[in-house]
Structure 1
């Protein structure tokens, strides 16, 4: 064990742990969730990127010794590459507006840097977590900047998963293009359509969700780095902000810009609210599609049964042969979780007081969870369900021929009132609209052929 001291007293830390006193206290104070910083590698990398950008700016301005800047850069490069993450042990949910996370990064970088310089952990007179690693910074600009970087990285993975899922639906749309079926509104027979058209609409909805998430991500590129504690840039030298943001853009690969008003950016989390809303919208759309697939595959004998979902597991411990739509059901539940996370983000954003929002940790936690759930759900939805969907063309045809879905098209020839009378007669007699139409007097002989032929051509 080694002994470290902070303003609250003495803390004992195991010799092989690279964090320091503030991190150790945070571990004791916040045993809250099952998620720690090391469980979110993109956020750990984001913190390291911010620290490296700050070191570069401080070196250029002559406020950080070259040896210290060099070792900070070397250690953060290693963290960005995925090393040393086990030392990032603070719970994601924490009080202090992210100070524990920031200090976890500062202490780990300092101690690993000390070892690289030939010193022992805790010998901070040679490289200090606050005076050197955190130079020209505050938690209040480091932490929200790192949040945005992590979300930008994770958003890329989600949009890719949604794009591939949309492509899977487009492929099915092509495969099912020639299958005529009943289109339904309010769960009632409406007008003819093709199964391919239905699946193409699913693809279009997902593609629009990608556009919405991408647009919302643009707001995350605006950061408050350089504002330090409340937006006035206290303790940051002149020229630091521009240099740090330029360095961070280069390191992260994102084109980042500074907020117009750093005081507002210190407490306003509107960009996170908009991003969360885009995730919620995409999750709800995936859920709607999943619910439609459950309906279309229902039965298989006593429901719609127009499509067959791949059987991925047995559906009952008591009903032999039963297979449930478990993958779409999973997608539904992910959507419910994302909606709940959006509520948390919304309320936490409202909780900003005066010059700071102290609730950013729970916003980060819930947004990262939503991104992870949605990415995993989209990939599983595609590979375990959509790719294996089979159309039951005979069932689609039988339901279509026995339905009243041609009524809307027929009203162009016979008018609304006469067509309505035909529909009611077909319902009373339990027959389809075409059989009812055939027995009607005074109708053009080619009306039925033209009517069904038009539908088939449009469906194709």
Structure 2
């Protein structure tokens, strides 16, 4: 097979490009995975050089090439489809060939002169796809998680700021979509901040699951083709290069086939997605109207909402967030099926797990940034609507329950429903309490928190 002289990949990459034309998700679209693969290759080269298996000339060429790739000079040559047969071999060989050809030019040679620096014999020395690819996936998740957590923390803070802004605005809470009891709009927004803060903590804790790697186990966990002590050297080199505390797995054979850590991480992403969708749906409900719905908050207008109804504006940002969340749920299901499909000493479906994890993180990061900047930052409270909804509701009766008793409060509520009056009018009319007593019982602090 002929390979164009202008490209930096080789024949194995070309075959993969020809075989797997399945999606638009190419390796070049995932810079964190490219960087992760490069760093793994650099760590392995360091270990091989330290064990006198890779001479200084070849080692220097490999290290030069890895740095040039990290600098982004050769991204377009990582052209294999992320969905591929071979358990990730195509991605691994794409990286091996680009490193080899960049390194050959550094040595003053031509691309393809592999007798001097070979993609398999030298760049892939002491390695197998089956330990390189799983390690790179875990490292790529670490690299990508930084952006996800930064975006999520920013959204947590944005909801916190709105909570403070709305802290004195009383409104009606709702359970099962029915009128419930009084609360403040600030309390409602603080709950959004609190629930997402839990996800920051959870995702941070997930990092520990991804620090145990099987680098050095090569094909199935035996470490065949490696020199004794190589695994520890390679893992330490990777830890030094990344400042991540990677460590050897307890069982290299188990790690070659089990995808449990990646399934757990995907579940955490799904949990975050579900929370984001729930919050987005709440924002849509609270803003519904502007005349015929709850309309207690005003979402920023981003675009016309109808091709036929003049002046209509839709909650397009929360709607888009929910759709991203549904996609993450679907990707998680595919990850689960791929994890189950592992057979004997290897899971050949790992490429699907990798691309779906990275795609989920992309979607969530982008959705979170969009939700904060195009929606949450500019939400306004409709204070008069909050007040009217609360005053016209039957919610105040719960605060009277400790004083008047459940049976009396139930009767008052029924009568108010029948005659269209308010709870306060019923209580005054029946001379159950004076206005002064009512004012004291329904003090702002008493109805939105435990009585002091």
TM range (shorter): over 0.9
Contact 1:308 1:392 in 2 (8 A): yes
Shift of 1:238: 0.6
Partner Cα separation in structure 1 for residue 388 and residue 445 of structure 2: 15
State the SS of the aligned residue for 2:254: helix
Residue among 21, 24, 29 paired with 2:19: 29
State the SS of the aligned residue for 1:12: coil
Partner of 2:69: 79
State the SS of the aligned residue for 2:239: helix
Partner of 2:81: 91
The Cα RMSD (Å) is: 1.2
Partner of 2:137: 147
Partner of 1:302: 292
Shift of 1:452: 2.0
Residue correspondences, number: 450
State the TM-score, normalizing by the size of structure 1: 0.96
Contact 1:169 1:203 in 2 (8 A): yes
Partner of 1:62: 52
Shift of 1:442: 4.0
Partner of 2:201: 211
Shift of 1:402: 0.5
Cα distance change of structure 1 residues 271 and 456 upon mapping to structure 2, 3 Å threshold: same
State the SS of the aligned residue for 1:295: helix
Shift of 1:444: 5.0
Partner Cα separation in structure 2 for residue 444 and residue 313 of structure 1: 51
Contact 1:179 1:459 in 2 (8 A): no
Shift of 1:454: 4.3
Residue pairs, 1:297-446, within 5 angstroms: 297-444=287-434, 446=436
| 1:277 correspondence with 2:281 | no
Residue among 171, 189, 200 paired with 2:190: 200
Deviations 1:215-257 (A, max 9, x none): 1222111111000000010001111000100110111221111
Partner of 1:44: 34
Gaps of 5+ in 1: 1-10
Partner of 2:437: 447
Partner of 2:128: 138
State the SS of the aligned residue for 2:182: strand
Contact 1:23 1:100 in 2 (8 A): yes
Contact 1:245 1:257 in 2 (8 A): yes
State the TM-score, normalizing by the size of structure 2: 0.98
Partner of 2:253: 263
Partner Cα separation in structure 2 for residue 141 and residue 153 of structure 1: 19
Shift of 1:119: 1.1
Deviations 1:163-219 (A, max 9, x none): 100100000000000000001100011111000000000000110111111112221
